[in-house]
Amino acid sequence: MSKDFIAESIVIISEDESLTNETYEKAIQTTLDSVKEFEQNNQEKMNEKLQEHEKASSNSIQVQNQIDYNMQIGTWKGLASSVDLLGCNGTARLMRHAVVPYEHVGETNWSPGIYVETNTAYARSAATSSIELNNEIYYKFYTEIVNNGLSSGTITGSFTFTRSNSSLDLAAGIHSANYSVTFGKKSNGSGYSASYSFTDVYDFEYMSDSSYPKPMEAANNLGYSLQEDGYIKPYFIVLRSNNH
């Protein structure tokens, strides 16, 4: 899952021509260590969500008849189209990716697979739409990298996207995410390049928040029910973007 992010981080670090072989190797190793920790946190989060899902659905998953499946998933896809009309195209794509094909309903080992977006408008918005998040990232950037005299480095953390600090699309689709950002001095000396990675586990909890548009609330609560029935499943989301 982190191969592309590591490759992009190496490119960013390599732009700094002032690095000696020793400091270059140290910067790469520091990045690898940060990404390893980042991955471990992600896997722990995914395992926790899957265990919750399996526990909740173990007594309720039954292979229903296909008419019921078609009706439920048809409603789900209709709500995804309504979410699209709200301008939440990223959330709608995530909804569609969660669907379990009828022939795989009830199979505990089947999953939708990792969902990745790279340098799309949605992926970029995760890195740019929240002033609160940007302040958090740049505080870490200055305290952990700049103030320590480093020309490159990777910072990690977690952030909850809400309607008040970002966009409806991020609040509904991603919500709580882990992030990893690699900074590296540009070869021309004019500032730093940055490579962003946001990860989350896509799953549902029942919501009774009337501040969300009705199609969004209906989609969430239907998603909670479909998840218990095994018609949709949790999966990893990865949003990547870079700023050279």
**Using one digit for the tens of pLDDT, what is the confidence trace for 15-31?**
666 666 666 566 666 66
Bridge partners, 181 (sequence order): 155, 196
Query: Domain residues for 105?
Result: 3-243
Residue 217 has pLDDT above 70, yes or no: yes
Q: Is the pLDDT of residue 228 over 80?
A: yes
- Say if residue 126 is exposed, middle or buried (CB neighbours under 10 Å; 0-12, 13-18, 19+): buried
Give the total residue count for the chain: 244
Two tokens, residue 24: 């270059």
Q: Shortest CA distance to 182 belongs to which of 29, 30, 9?
A: 9
- Residue 185 has a pLDDT of 87
The residue assigned the tokens 């990232």 is: 137
In this model, does residue 155 exceed pLDDT 60?
A: yes
pLDDT in tens, 80-130: 999 999 999 999 999 999 999 999 998 888 999 999 999 999 999 999 999
d(CA 91, CA 61): 25
H-only helix segments in the chain: 3-14, 21-57, 66-85, 89-97, 121-128, 131-141, 168-173, 214-229
What token pair was written down for 169? Answer: 């699309």
pLDDT, one tens digit per residue, over 162-199 is: 999 999 999 999 989 999 999 988 877 778 899 999 99
Under the banding of pLDDT at 50, 70 and 90, the label for residue 59 is very low
Give me the chain's average pLDDT, please. Answer: 83
The stretch 22-44 carries a mean pLDDT of: 62
Q: How far is CA 107 from CA 44, 103, 211, 212, 229, in A?
A: 22, 9, 36, 33, 12
> Can you tell me which residue has the tokens 């007594």?
59
Cβ contacts of residue 128 below 8 Å, gap of 6+? 134
Percent of the chain beyond pLDDT 90? 52
Q: Residue 235: CB partners within 8 Å, gap ≥ 6?
A: 97, 98, 111, 112, 113, 114, 115, 201, 202
User: In total, how many domains does the chain have?
Assistant: 1
The residues near 172 (Cβ < 8 Å, ≥ 6 apart) are 83, 88, 91, 212, 216, 220
The share of the chain scoring above pLDDT 70, in percent, equals 72
Give the model confidence (pLDDT) of 66-81 as tens digits.
Answer: 889 999 999 999 999 9
Dist CA 96 CA 107 (whole Å)? 19
How does DSSP assign 138-199, residue by residue? Answer: HHHHIIIIITTT-SEEEEEEEEE--TTTS-HHHHHHT-EEEEEEEEEE-TTSSSEEEEEEEE
Range in 8-17, 146-155, 176-185, 219-228 with the lowest mean pLDDT: 8-17
